[in-house]
Structure 1
Amino acid sequence: MVTRFAPSPNGPLHLGHAYSAIVAHDLAKAASGRFLLRIEDIDGPRSKPEFADEFRRDLEWLALEWEEVPAQSTRLDTYTAAADELLQRGLLYPCDLTRKQIAALPLRKGNDGLTYPGTSRGLAQRGVTDGAALRLDIDRALAQTGDLSWFDEIAGEMKADPRPFGDVVLVRKDLPASYHLAATLDDARDGVTLVTRGMDLFEATHIHRLIQALLGLPVPTWHHHKLLLDANGEKLAKRRGSPSLAERRLSGEDGVMLAEQLRMQNFELGT
């Protein structure tokens, strides 16, 4: 078994990250497998090396053992190659609409919120490619793959249904790849056999399973664990200022004890 923890260095880790890392670590350890750390550092100027250094200190403080694999910033050529292949097969098309323009479109409700309706299909035929995002033509993609399924250790066998997402972005205007493309390619390259992550990413697996089928990538098993919530019942998040692991570590808190409390699910998040 090979699991991974793949944080983005755009802010400090919090308890939700700690729980996710512990789940991945413990599942691999129980199976005498490997637990990997991968730094997902292609978020432009928001990605800062100092945060990645803090992540390593945090994992040590929690008494987790890992192998570190190359960061995403070293793998840009693989994202470009995959996007080029899909583009040549007619499965990607450019979209130069701004978020404001997309918000003004007659969007429909889907798994990922409001779904983009494919307005920019045919843009490449009009010569518009520079400075545009690249979207996956879901209908064309599914015509090539046929029916797909994936297995989650908690939810069981799932039929892949990416259509409610609409034509998702695989290459962003400002970044070399979207999360969907980069994470899927990286998990295959790193030999990850069990993808562990929070339930907030459960629906994204429909898209990831489609990308795997299109690119001939190995299919892992998934394990979507529950989320840790704050006192208001909201998911812990960097943007909401959830207490960081670094702050707890530097204050002298016992990381090993914290990890055990998280494993036992008896930790008061409001304290």
Structure 2
Amino acid sequence: MAERSPSRPGVAWEEDGAPQESSSLLEPGEVYIIQPLQIVDASWLPVYQRERELVEFIVAFVSSPEEDAEQKMRFLDNIRLLLRTVQLTGLSEGLDIFCRRFRLVENIEMLLDEEPRDQLSTPVQHFAMDAIVALSSVRSVLEGKERRLLAACFRSVFWLPPKGEIEARHFSLYMMTLMAMDKMLESVVLSYPASRVSEGLQSIFQMLLDLATSDNMAVQERALQRIMYLSRFLADKPTVEAWDRVGRDTYGSVCYRDIQIPILGRLLGCLILFQSSSEATAPLASDAFRFLQQFMENQ
């Protein structure tokens, strides 16, 4: 058996290419040989002069192992804060190189896979998805890594106990985490280049549909909620202008009528079946079906 590499944020992927996407949503992705990242100076980054402390903490975090939840959340929030400064100042030069060099996407994935799946006691998942939203604004940083990253997000949240069994003191955190996931899904879809929107939506709906047919009712319900949200998102964007993201290069306009999702027929069929299933899933399936119909009528 291959030795399992340590699942820690303070490491970098050893290989140069993008990690291969995992086909499983139940278990973490493929095991990679990883080694500590040597600290590299990041003062060349234009935004470094404005946010030196944020940049240096990010570099230090990925350069050495760190298991403390507070430090994990600070790392994730620093990514969000750094990207907010970039958006406000326009100091985006070299940011894509920085994100790839310090493997920010891969480190977020590892943090998500470290979180327990039977409880939600810290906002790490919430912060991670906020960081993904921020990274989606950096051109090409997520490209080719979306499926693995989304799968890690789903794994870290979907197998939590049913909503009715979430501890009262953690219920607010649970709801905020799901809201963060919906916002993240929207940002990931909007981050796709025009030529990959259809491919991206196909991949996301495929993952969610696989989860919606799980034997675990809590997983079913959470997957259907995300399908319903994405369907509403599509139904609400009938024009090319609606897909434009303010303040960033969309590298080509999205032609709404050209969006093709091959899995749509199977998805609609499953939603029809869900409408006659449990009381928890029927309303979600009904709403998702209605939004997808509106999406097709808009096309």
TM-score, with structure 2 as normaliser: 0.22
TM-score, with structure 1 as normaliser: 0.24
Larger proportion of strand = 1
Larger proportion of helix = 2
